[in-house]
Structure 1
Amino acid sequence: MLKSSITIIVPFLPGEEGYLSSLFYDLRNCPFSFQLILSSPQSFKSFHLGMNEELTHSLNKILEKAGNQFQYVQAGPGRAVQMNAAAKLSSNGNYLWFVHVDSRISENNWQELHDLLQKDSSSKTAWYFPLGFSSHGNRFKLISFWANIRCKLLGMIYGDQALLIPRKSFFRLGSFLEDLTYGEDHDFVWRFVLAGGKWKSFSEAICTAGRAYGRNWLKLCFKRIYLGFKQALPFMGQFLLKGAETIDFEEILSVGESDLADSNQAKTAVVVFVKTPGLSSLKTRLAKDLGKMKAESFHVLSCKKIEATLLQAQIKLGVSPYWAVAEEQALEHSLWSGFPVKLQSSGGLGERLHHMYAHLKQEFEQIIFLGADTPQLSVQDLEEALAALQKGCDFHLGYASDGGYYLFAGKSPLDKSLWTSIPYSVSETGQRFAKALKEQGRLSEAKKVYSDVDTVKEYSEVVDQMYRF
């Protein structure tokens, strides 16, 4: 088992999906689990609808791998803004790995990373890769030769060398500076050194496309050398005159860390009812308009978004998340490896809900049920439900815009007859269920009404909210 974990952050611009497709192919070969965060000025809706079949297939394969997580953030303009926005969404891992979209990751690169993650991380050591190029020719050999000599002799390291930064140190130093006109990565390298940190190089080069070095490549090289020294010299002078300032990188807590909630909340199960692509038909109405692959891709992305939310809730609220799968063959499916898995019973939806509620009530005081197609759900929605139960309510219900409900929370027993008497998947499901619950105890209702996703119209509404921060 690895001692350290990693979040991979990839900033990209509209029109760079071709590079992203190649990078995704490399990410599929990663030998360990990771959190992937994409950051772009374009909305997630534009990105998802614009994905071609190859990109969609690769992303699905990445997400189906055990332990992998995914986030997307719309941010910009400016690469520093994009990377900082993504870093704020990172889970409480040890390293942030900033990878340019046109980078290619080899088997040897993965092996070196794997070897590093097997060790305890150090907040005072950051890493970079020697620079290589996917393109061939003498100009690229010359550029990479200079870049790697520059790093070793002068400590001038840049972002296209895939900076691997301890997460706590990144936030302790204030992230990338967003008001610089250039060189936010190079600036951070020097601030890390002046704070007492050390940069180490992996042995195997990471390759980039070299797309900027066209006909006027020599002029561009001299310009970048000039700007690099202009930025580095003040740092070099400060380092030579004053040396490094010793900063306690461990002083800052990881973003999002907090104590677990009280023991009452720690006795709460949160159950997400899901179907598994390839084993059950899903999103059939949506597939008629978007195509089967893209509809299944949305389902997987939706589940991963809910998983990310529940991981935060697990830390902040002390809840115990579960997947409730519809298929016995899916009990050990890699897509559901993030949480313990429960098998839904046979029968209609009412019977399955009753069985799961009664089963979990033997172990937990409070139960929350969620569907898989409301990825806009937040930790605050779960906090609201738990607060209602703590204040004396027996049940809490969040209504869906189509007349159903997206969240149910309860702490009091419910007979099977109540669950099976409700007509599901109709416009009055939510109201009929609420009326029945009020006859059993005190009911509170969620402030927000969410859309679930069965049609293209609902897809458009939800996907705009899915990764809005």
Structure 2
Amino acid sequence: MTQPFVSVVIPVWRDVEGAVRAAVSAAGPEVEIIAVAAWEDADGVEMSRAASQQIRWLFARRGRGNQMNVGAAATRGEWLLFLHADSRLPAHWMHEIRSAAAHGCAAGTFRFGIAANGWRPRAWEWLVRLRVALLTLPYGDQGLFVRRDLFNALSGYRDIPLMEDVDFVGRARERTRIWKGRTAVVTSARRWERDGWFRRSATNLTLVSRYRFGADVRRLARIYMGHSETAVAVLARAPSAPGKTRLGTSSPELRRALLLDTLDAALEGPWDAALIFTPAESAAECASLTPDARRPPLLVPQVCGDLGLRMSAAFRDLFAAGYLRVILIGSDLPTLPSDRLRDAEHALREGADLVLGPADDGGYYLMGLTRSHDLLFSGISWGAPDVFLTTKTRAEAAGLRVKTIPPWYDVDSPADLQRVATTAALRGARTKRLLDNS
């Protein structure tokens, strides 16, 4: 197979159709196109595959830097071009990269354009041009291209929730002169039209200024994306995947009811919800579970390994996404009161390093952290009757401030299912209805 000259990498989140149009603008000889969608977009990707045969689709945890690194790792081109899903390349875009190479530049960018008429977009284009001319500080929506050897030498993009482009350009220009293209990548105007031209532009300038003066990038990301400071994550197996053999049944309907009832508690609070799912090929199924949610849960695939490895990776992924507090629960808590989640978040806000919710079987149904602690997940006999006590003792010995919230029960046996069916709880409607009709 002939090696492409340029590999185009398109990070995608909630804009699969836009990514297809971006790929059309990039298609041509000597080009390979890789689009890296967030797991939440799996359903849309499946529906678009027939119309996007020139694209190789990959999936990754949401986060533009992370997605672009995943895409770059799968490419074969001499040059890498990172293109946003709402941007379109000019007709002869390859000429800019060849010109950069001819002039000894190992990285470069296009001119910035906005797909809108009027004086406001033209004024903003002029200001961006001035910023690039004076500061050599292009952003990702201009299309950034870099020679593979330089990208590898820089270890790619940093996995930060915002400003990955500003950080990357800053490191790249220490190694090479940045080529400043004369043809424009045209970006959708929808962000400015949605937020207001002045407000959007002022927000962007403020966030970049604060970042350059050392502000916490996680806090800036929450402002930019509207993230909560807290994520409540449900560790789950897709309903179609077999499991829960201790219940005496492997009914997909029961697994779906248990998961959806548990998700209700995670979705209703002032935090962001996440679904840490397995297997990876069930992404489309998991994305379709909560079509009416005000804010659909962030989807993150589980890693391979025992329960400890999967939990540890879930915490690391969500902290990398910019959250300050992460609360993790299982998918078998159909009657869990939302007060338990509020108690856990309050304890973390008040200074606890670790929050545990003890379960009736000696384990715990909830864990909350403010940062990752590998010692809590290694060398644990999962399923033993002393998991809660062992974890609490380890944490206290390590100097962590531990807070325990009131106990609850998870559904691990037929007796637990009977308890759900006969308990007058405010939650668990789907599970109770299924049990009543069985």
Which structure has more strand as a fraction of its residues? 2
TM-score, structure 1 as length reference:
0.42
TM-score, structure 2 as length reference:
0.44
